[in-house]
């Protein structure tokens, strides 16, 4: 994966971690959700995936390849996404 793209994803991960109170507040506002931790993780993963997809298009001028998506998955597997 392109290094500039990796750096943008790392930045989004750090940004998401620094905004954990906002994510928790969203979860609190939607009180009917049975599993709020799964919901919050969904927000986190969604933000990071969106960054991967958008930044690939912006930086590389195309949609991500299957190989890049696999690298993205490997990257988030090794990242601590736990916010609480």
Per the prediction, the chain carries an average pLDDT of 88
- Pair 5, 55: CB distance under 8 Å: yes
What pLDDT does residue 72 have? 94
Crossing angle of helices 66-77/3-18, nearest 10°?
40
- DSSP class per residue in 21-49: HHHHHHHHH-TT-S-HHHHHHHHHHHHHH
Query: What average pLDDT does this structure show over 34-49?
Result: 86
Three-state DSSP class for residue 32 = coil
**Model-level pTM?**
0.82
Band (65; pLDDT cuts 50, 70, 90): very high
């Amino acid at each position: 994966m392109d290094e500039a793209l990796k750096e943008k994803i790392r930045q989004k991960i750090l940004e998401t971690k620094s905004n954990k109170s906002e994510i928790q507040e969203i979860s609190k506002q939607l009180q009917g959700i049975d599993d709020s931790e799964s919901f919050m993780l969904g927000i986190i993963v969604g933000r990071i995936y969106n960054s991967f997809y958008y930044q690939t298009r912006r930086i590389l001028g195309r949609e991500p390849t299957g190989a890049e998506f696999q690298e993205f998955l490997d990257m988030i597997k090794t990242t601590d996404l736990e916010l609480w």
